[in-house]
Amino acid sequence: MVVTVILFLAIAVLYVLHFTGKGPSNGTGNEGEEVSGQSGLRIAYIKADSLIVNYDLAQALHDDFTKKQEAFTSEFGSKRSAFEREATEFQQRLQRGGFLTEQRAIQERDRLVNKEQEIARLDQELSTKLAELQQTNNQQLIDSLITYLKIYNADKKYDYILNATDVLIGPEAANITMEVLQQMNTRYQSSTAKK
């Protein structure tokens, strides 16, 4: 699910993403180099879904998100289970007439209502934290991709780098996905090795 959301956001950003390079077109036939249109337009494309799925940073972020999600789920689950036990005990005690006064039963009921509201707030809070983390991760992936594509395009001078989902027909030579992926993974691995 997280990967799907990441892919969706990456694809949406890449859909509107375009780069303009002002360098001259040299007409070389290097792999991943120029694909010319009518006016010498240089266009390349990336299979963003493949790139994101295979990008080491995406996997690291996904693993971290999954760990936090499991921790949040465990925390919420244990509090919810404890509340449900207390609510069941209260119900049984009420049915047995286990409270000395009606006032004491009302106090216990009110305490349980407050606890249930607290658990609902915790659920909302944890859900919000996970959504924020997911959004932060998605933005980090998008920023990483865009930053790298700007560096990559400084040498390549493409007029446009498109997302492959928008390319119906195109030469495989214009597909720069694997080249960009390998370079981004190398760059990510060297940055994590320094830490």
Q: What is the pLDDT of residue 163?
A: 84
57 half-sphere exposure, CB direction, 13 A CA radius:
26
Q: What percent of the chain has pLDDT over 90?
A: 55
- Structural domain boundaries, residue 113: 2-193
Quick check: 45 pLDDT over 70? yes
C-beta atoms surrounding 83 within 10 Å: 15
CATH of the domain at 160: 3.30.910.20
**Is the distance from CB of 160 to CB of 109 less than 8 angstroms?**
no
Mean pLDDT, residues 5-14 taken together: 44
Quick check: 67 pLDDT over 70? yes
Task: Write the CB contacts of 128 (distance below 8 Å, at least 6 apart in sequence).
Answer: none
Q: What is the pLDDT of residue 16?
A: 35
**Is the distance from CB of 31 to CB of 173 less than 8 angstroms?**
yes
Q: How many domains does the chain have?
A: 1
Quick check: 68 pLDDT over 50? yes
